[in-house]
């Protein structure tokens, strides 16, 4: 039996993204969280003495990597060296080999994969462990690197583990790097596929395990939930996975049932209680609040102030360990009580009929703009829906015949 830790996407010292309304000082403070999560990983390794540690890419957050991030990372590796734990690193798109940045000397317990797929071997209690992997030689690897991985020979006493930083072909939510298919992975006959790149923890396949451990610490609202790494135990075709949480700050969403809400206090208390519950479970949390089952009373209550104001009030009353990032109001009865006039409907119907090109055309002033374009996230379907919703709201609010 062998035991190892599988982690990826550390994104050490990366700034928090997509947060506009939190004081920068506090954000800077929160930045320590990636280090804290890494520290947890190192401590766990020191304590449990795994046979080795796999780090599948994206240790840093790109070319903006800070010296202190590297320094701390190396210090952590040195501690593993002290504990005689070998470490295998394959760099990913964010920390590819082509980068022209200061490199710190890594301790000699660390094996770094080169730009081509390589196999590194080590012997653990008589078992011959063969670890296959590669590092990104440049930022964009569109090539399906999976083709270069050797097939496992399946000799007894041999364990094959693949390290691959990339995403499934055809998956559109992420930029596609080193695309692969599940079948291609399984076909290699490895005992374990240690993946990286996707920040959401997921188990693509069970036998053999094909695992995205997710990142160590969430960094924006799309990286919700408790984050961590996997502790893996492999034994002749039997594997057990143990998720070890490391995140010190959790992005999460709380749902507030507003059926009976009539007073601001009730709502604030409900939010605080829900937040406290999350904080107690996960530690410090960044929370978006989803208000559901909004009755007429609650609707009236919420119409009293703007969403921004509600958010501000909520933050003012918040505990230091909870930060309320956003408010969502689901099925606001405003729309059902105040029906759109045929006019408004016909306007809204216009948007529904737009195709991809229409959207591009409509938004080209900003999205196609030479200067602003690069700062914007690509126009996803979600985004389009949201924009339609927002635009509809603008029109409805202005033209509602029930005014």
By the criterion CB under 8 A, which residues form the site for other proteins? 13, 15-20, 24, 27-28, 31, 63-64, 66-68, 71, 100-103, 336-337, 339-343, 345-348, 350-351, 362-363, 365-367, 369, 371-372, 375-377, 383, 386-388, 390-395, 398-399, 401
Q: Which residues contact 154 (CB under 8 A, 6 or more apart)?
A: 189
CB of 397 to other proteins, least distance (A): 9
Minimum CB–partner distance for residue 309 and other proteins (Å) = 17
Report, in Å, the least distance between residue 3 CB and other proteins.
34
Q: Which is nearer to other proteins, 175 or 343 (CB)?
A: 343
Q: Which is nearer to other proteins, 122 or 387 (CB)?
A: 387
Q: Are 129 and 161 in contact (CB under 8 A)?
A: yes
| Closest to 143 measured CA to CA, from 116, 162, 120, 114 | 116
**Cβ-based nearer residue to other proteins, 303 or 336:** 336
Closer to other proteins by Cβ: residue 4 or 16: 16
From start to end of 248-356, where are the E strands?
249-257, 284-292, 322-329
Nearer residue to other proteins within complex by CB, 82 or 346:
346
Q: How far is the CB of 232 from other proteins (least distance, A)?
A: 34
With residue 46 as reference, give the H or E element that holds it: helix 24-48
* Minimum CB distance to other proteins, residue 40 (Å): 21
Query: How long a stretch of residues is the chain?
Result: 403
Q: From residue 18, how far is each of 59, 220, 309, 365 by CA, in Å? A: 20, 7, 20, 22
CB of 62 vs other proteins, minimal distance in Å: 10
Q: How far is the CB of 315 from other proteins (least distance, A)?
A: 16
Distances (CA, A) of 196 to 3, 89, 162, 191, 202: 19, 11, 11, 17, 10
Q: H or E segment at 157?
A: none
- Cβ contacts of 345 within 8 Å, gap of 6 or more: none
Q: What is the H or E stretch that residue 159 is in?
A: strand 158-165
Give the residue among 192, 186, 133, 207 at the shortest CA–CA distance from 158. 192
Task: Give whole-number Cα distances, 278 to 250, 324, 379, in Å.
Answer: 9, 12, 32
d(CA 261, CA 357): 43
- Write the secondary structure of 52-114 as one string of H (helix), E (strand) and C (coil): EEEEECCCECCCCCCHHHHHHHHHHHHHHHHCCCCEEEECCHHHCCCCCCCCCCCCCCEEECC
Degrees, nearest 5: CA angle 378-61-283: 95
CB 164, min distance to other proteins, A: 29
Distance CA 165, CA 195 (A): 5
- Nearer Cβ to other proteins (70/111): 70
Please, which residue, 243 or 367, has the CB nearer to other proteins?
Answer: 367
The residue among 99 and 150 lying less far from other proteins, judged by its C-beta, is: 99
Query: Which residues lie across from 193 on neighbouring strands?
Result: 162, 210
User: Smallest distance, Å, CB 248 to other proteins?
Assistant: 17
Give whichever of 160 and 340 is closer to other proteins, judged by the CB atom.
340
Query: CB of 287: closest distance to other proteins in angstroms?
Result: 17
Cβ proximity to other proteins: between 320 and 371 the closer is 371
> SS3 of 294, please?
coil
């Amino acid at each position: 039996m062998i035991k190892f830790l599988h982690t990826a996407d550390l994104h050490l010292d990366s700034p928090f993204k997509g947060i506009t309304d939190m004081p920068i000082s506090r954000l800077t403070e929160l930045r320590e969280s990636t280090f804290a999560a890494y520290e947890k990983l190192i401590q766990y390794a020191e304590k449990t003495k795994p046979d080795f540690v796999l780090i599948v890419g994206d240790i840093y957050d790109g070319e903006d990597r800070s010296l202190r991030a590297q320094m701390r990372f190396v210090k952590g590796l040195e501690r593993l060296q002290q504990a005689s734990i070998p470490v295998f690193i394959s760099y990913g798109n964010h920390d590819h080999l082509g980068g022209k940045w200061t490199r710190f000397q890594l301790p000699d317990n660390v094996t770094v994969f080169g730009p081509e797929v390589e196999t590194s071997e080590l012997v653990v209690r008589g078992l011959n462990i063969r670890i296959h992997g590669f590092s990104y030689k440049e930022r964009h690897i569109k090539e399906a690197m999976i083709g270069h991985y050797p097939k496992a020979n399946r000799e007894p006493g041999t364990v094959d583990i693949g390290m691959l930083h990339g995403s499934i072909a055809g998956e559109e939510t992420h930029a596609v790097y080193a695309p692969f298919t599940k079948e291609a992975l399984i076909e290699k006959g490895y005992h374990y596929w240690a993946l990286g790149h996707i920040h959401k923890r997921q188990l693509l396949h069970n036998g053999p395990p094909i695992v995205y451990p997710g990142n160590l610490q969430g960094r924006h609202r799309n990286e919700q939930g408790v984050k961590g790494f996997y502790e893996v135990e492999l034994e002749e075709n039997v594997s057990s996975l143990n998720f070890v949480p490391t995140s010190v700050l959790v992005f999460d969403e709380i749902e507030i049932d507003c059926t009976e809400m009539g007073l601001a206090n009730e709502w604030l208390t409900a939010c605080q209680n829900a937040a406290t519950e999350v904080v107690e479970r996960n530690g410090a949390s960044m929370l978006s609040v989803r208000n559901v089952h909004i009755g007429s009373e609650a609707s009236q209550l919420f119409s009293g102030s703007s969403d921004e104001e509600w958010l501000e009030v909520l933050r003012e009353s918040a505990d230091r360990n909870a930060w309320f990032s956003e408010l969502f109001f689901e099925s606001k009865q405003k729309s059902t009580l105040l029906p759109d006039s045929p006019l408004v409907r016909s306007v809204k119907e216009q948007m529904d009929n737009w195709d991809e090109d229409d959207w591009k055309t409509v938004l080209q002033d900003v999205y196609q703009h030479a200067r602003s374009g690069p700062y914007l996230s690509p126009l996803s379907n979600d985004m389009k829906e949201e924009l339609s919703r927002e635009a509809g709201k603008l029109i409805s609010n202005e033209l509602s015949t029930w005014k």
